[in-house]
């Protein structure tokens, strides 16, 4: 199916979800997918940044493993925070229980000592 450049770009964008890069347009022209009305000796120039896709060399796609790692580290840090909170509350409760226990032991011992 031979199309002109604009039709091919619209077709490419509808299939791939992004605009093609200049090299992809050139490859399509070279393969004969795009009908070029007049071949000029000047190279193809694009004024807007619309044709530069995410496949440029400076673009680094976030990998699935990196996303998984970030999710797992977030879950681990939340769980670790909950463990620290639970441990702190448990120590606080034990501290209160032991304080009450030793307070009453001293009072009972003092009462027993006075009753002799």
Distance of CA 86 to the CA centre of its chain: 29
Query: In whole angstroms, what is the distance from residue 38 CA to residue 40 CA?
Result: 6
Query: In whole angstroms, what is the distance from residue 116 CA to residue 111 CA?
Result: 9
> What pTM did the predictor assign?
0.39
Higher confidence at residue 68 or residue 1? 68
The continuous run of DSSP H or E covering 102 comes out as helix 64-114
Higher confidence at residue 7 or residue 38? 7
Is the pLDDT assigned to residue 70 strictly greater than 50?
Answer: yes
pLDDT digits (tens, 9 = 90+) for 27-57: 888 887 787 665 454 555 555 555 555 555 5
Query: In whole angstroms, what is the distance from residue 28 CA to residue 32 CA?
Result: 6
pLDDT digits (tens, 9 = 90+) for 90-107: 999 999 999 999 998 888
């Amino acid at each position: 199916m031979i199309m002109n450049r604009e039709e091919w770009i619209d077709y490419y964008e509808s299939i791939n979800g992004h605009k093609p890069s200049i090299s992809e347009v050139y490859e399509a022209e070279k393969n004969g997918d795009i009908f070029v009305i007049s071949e000029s000796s000047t190279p193809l120039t694009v004024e807007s940044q619309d044709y530069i896709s995410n496949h440029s060399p400076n673009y680094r796609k976030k990998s699935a493993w990196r996303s998984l790692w970030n999710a797992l580290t977030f879950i681990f840090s939340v769980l670790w925070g909950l463990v620290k909170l639970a441990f702190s509350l448990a120590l606080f409760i034990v501290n209160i229980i032991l304080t009450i226990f030793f307070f009453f032991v001293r009072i009972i011992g003092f009462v027993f000592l006075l009753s002799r």
